[in-house]
């Protein structure tokens, strides 16, 4: 395989600027248009109606609006087997729908679309307190995972400054988590249980790429103990760059296949998993290569300068 000769210490700032632009754009879009939260995170009601034949989304939405004063979002989906088509109505926050109103809505839709055999497929309500509790539990799960990442990397790479290596790896993981979140914001995807699954999956993928790099750094340091830290990082990352790219591209191809299938068959559940996952994988490859290593160099140089200045003052 061909080895690259990229100076990753020089590419660090441009990459950080690109990430910053994405994050700022995401914050602005989120502030203007809001974040599409699932009822598990915000509370509310989600009702699914199955039907036969074809019902235009605009017609179904108009029928719901005629019989519902609450604001809602409407999505269309199809089962994996393709034998069940549904329209899903989500009312978040304080827009929870009472059982009485749900029954009235069902009666109106059944009457409106008599030839389409509209039936109540699923109904789920979550209180605001339960949603808050679920959010906290999800956050705790991510934090615990991050803590284990720091401990694992710190112990495994203690000979090359385990704690600093772990913290810079964690910083790269934070970038990946934010990319996944802002992907949902940009594409107006609902942040649901899939979001937590993508985050936890991404932590594993991104960490794997970073560990491969740290392994090579440890190996090259043993072979070249006097090599300057910046040169050591460049040598190590360039040696594994092709491997990281191939691994990421192979995984992304599988995820893109899922995206195509979800778009063709209207599988909303797969869509909210696959699209953030694809962008998270790209970010995981970029952050492990262009962020964690160079950031570790900055930290090591800072510590070395601090020790040197202290020694000069003592002398």
Concatenated DSSP letters of 108-144: HHHHHTGGGT-EEEEEEEE-HHHHHHHHHHHHHHHHH
User: Cα dist. 27→65, 122, 221, 241 in Å?
Assistant: 30, 34, 41, 31
Query: What is residue 3's predicted lDDT score, i.e. its pLDDT?
Result: 64
Q: Which fold has domain 44-126?
A: Alpha-Beta Plaits (3.30.70)
Architecture of the 130-305 domain: Up-down Bundle (1.20)
Q: Where are the domains of the chain?
A: 44-126, 130-305
Q: Kind of pairing, strands 44-51 and 119-126?
A: antiparallel
Query: What is residue 36's predicted lDDT score, i.e. its pLDDT?
Result: 85
Per residue of the chain (315 residues), give pLDDT as tens.
556 788 998 999 999 999 999 999 999 999 998 888 888 887 888 888 999 988 988 899 999 988 887 778 888 877 666 678 888 888 876 556 777 888 888 899 999 999 999 998 888 877 767 777 877 888 888 788 778 877 888 888 787 777 788 888 888 889 999 999 999 999 988 888 888 889 888 887 877 888 888 888 889 888 888 888 889 999 999 988 888 889 889 999 999 998 998 888 777 778 889 999 999 999 999 998 999 889 988 888 888 788 777 777 776
């Amino acid at each position: 395989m061909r080895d690259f000769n990229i100076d990753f210490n020089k590419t660090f700032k441009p990459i950080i600027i690109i990430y910053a632009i994405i994050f700022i754009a995401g914050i602005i879009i989120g502030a203007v248009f809001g974040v599409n939260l699932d009822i598990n995170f915000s509370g509310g009601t989600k009702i699914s109606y199955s039907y036969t034949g074809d019902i235009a989304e605009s017609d179904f939405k108009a029928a719901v609006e005629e019989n519902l004063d609450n604001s809602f979002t409407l999505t269309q989906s199809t089962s994996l087997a393709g034998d069940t088509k549904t329209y899903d109505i989500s009312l978040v926050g304080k827009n929870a729908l009472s059982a009485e109103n749900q029954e009235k809505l069902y009666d109106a839709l059944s009457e409106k679309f008599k030839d389409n055999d509209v039936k109540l497929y699923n109904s789920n309500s979550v209180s605001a307190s339960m949603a808050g509790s679920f959010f906290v539990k999800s956050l705790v799960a991510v934090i615990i995972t991050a803590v284990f990442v720091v401990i694992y990397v710190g112990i495994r790479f203690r000979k090359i400054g385990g704690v600093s290596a772990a913290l810079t790896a964690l910083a790269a993981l934070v970038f990946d988590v934010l990319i996944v979140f802002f992907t949902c914001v940009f594409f107006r995807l609902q942040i649901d249980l899939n979001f937590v699954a993508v985050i936890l999956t991404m932590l594993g993928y991104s960490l794997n790429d970073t560990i491969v790099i740290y392994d090579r750094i440890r190996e090259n340091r043993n072979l070249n103990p006097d090599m300057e830290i910046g040169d050591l990082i460049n040598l190590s990352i360039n040696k594994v760059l092709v491997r990281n790219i191939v691994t990421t591209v192979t995984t992304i191809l599988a995820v893109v296949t899922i995206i195509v299938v979800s778009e063709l068959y209207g599988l909303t559940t797969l869509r909210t998993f696959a699209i953030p996952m694809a962008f998270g994988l790209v970010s995981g490859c970029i952050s492990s290569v262009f962020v964690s290593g160079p950031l570790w160099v900055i930290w090591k140089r800072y510590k070395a300068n601090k020790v040197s200045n202290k020694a000069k003052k003592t002398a």
